[in-house]
A and B are shown apart, each in its own frame.
Chain A
């Protein structure tokens, strides 16, 4: 309950800030997209798996939006977002079939390797993808309206907020559902899960699709906001940022990803002011400190578990069973 109220208050604050200070709309939308993508990564973290390549789904969705919008400039922004999500889901379904066979280090690094392939392919095929310069797109109509820049940004902000609220709630429901509990079971004891008659691969594949879709939505929103897509959207640094936010926020509650995104934005702001081009070392230091001090992240430390309806259970990344 309290988590829900907190989310609503957070969304209202975002909306008011965006409307009162128009310059804040862009950072808020970018922050929400980071939160959505990190939520996707956090879904897999429930299963104990960390993907270092999920920015590739943002990239897939972003390029789908750009290609479609350039081919059919009259296409609605909302439809473009949907198309981006579908593309990310399809890519996730196919790649997922392959990567769900692996766990832990292999899982993480295979995702990283595949995202590096996508990144370099996008950079090389200049004729189709515009190379490292990327593709520009005109501002599409949104929800049937032709909007000017401020109106368009407000529309995107509202869409991002509504999507974050809805998907955050849905993901939290998923965590508490039988499928979500089974997903967490992959981390605690996969063999026992199989003995219960469930296919761990299938469960992880479902979770993988959810995470790919969320990252796709994040990518589509950012591309529509910037009117530009470049391979950078799928660069490993971005995947690393998603992982950073998800670890920081923790996977105990869906809210964590968004809290993590806010902290990430603050670190980025402070870091670029103090360290300019080398602010990533601040990310690295924070990551190490979080893992050493609070490996369950912000939502693991806060009593947020009691606020939500999901039952009290062990959700840390540490193994519950004794491993030698």
Chain B
């Protein structure tokens, strides 16, 4: 039926400018609570389907030329992927480490050897996981029915991820701009929209001046923070009347702790601001060197903008934790009072059963409520990025065909499931 009525393909020479926009999805707060309730009644297992619905809404909010992205992943895929990762990776690792610790002892040579192999393995697994998660999301992203894809090797990415991470401490961090550029290059060059590749031309060089500012400023912040703390504490201690005072005066101790915390908080905030500024430079740099079919991306992300989003998200999460705590107390409080008097319940054993049930319910509330407002914070992150991203130039949309090389076939069982972002 489709073939008879298919619209005539656009002429190959026709190129269109593409406009990126964000259309705020309504109902994310309600969705947060719905997902919480469903996680609660399914012992948390619904989280994979809940996460999928959130992604479907966030993807739909991203508009290219007014038309939405489509997320085609399913909760079942995420769930299977998680089971496979759990069964083939997490469980064997924890069983092995447990067995070795029991059999040889936590301080034995065998345990140290195991740890020596385990940590690099975990690093490589994180690299593989990052790449595969990206691949899963891209193959589950459609625009006008055309799929995205990631066609390279996860091991290649994981290897670069691993050995360059080893060099971070050895170079006192100075490899970081090179490393992030290299990893971004691997991902971007492997990326496809339909049958067309993305190209990446960024060099790490231009990032080094910003990185130097971040590096030296961080050093300065550390030195300044410790000097301020040192001066204050010494000042307090060597004041003439301080010697007379009892050294264990609690108000003095509290004052000193308060000073230390205040200075460290200010120092951390300064560092966070600077690192956000550096990250914004990197994002903008990478965007302007990412090309697709002759068009180029452009990002106008700022450090302050990233910090604003982060602070907003922190406050939203704080509200989430408050709500969680209130629900938790509301569940436990009646039981607590009910079991206070033994007269209320016929036997001690019945009271114990009620308490156990309350314990389980309380634990379930905490499990189900983890990441309560994640739909809202995730949408905020996506919104900020999309609102500060644009595409310069034009793209020959009529020429872009479905990519055959990275076609997603469903139901390949374990091999398929292992490709899923369960990490």
| Interaction A to B | no
Interface residues of B (CB under 8 A from A): none
**Contact residues of A with B, CB < 8 Å?**
none
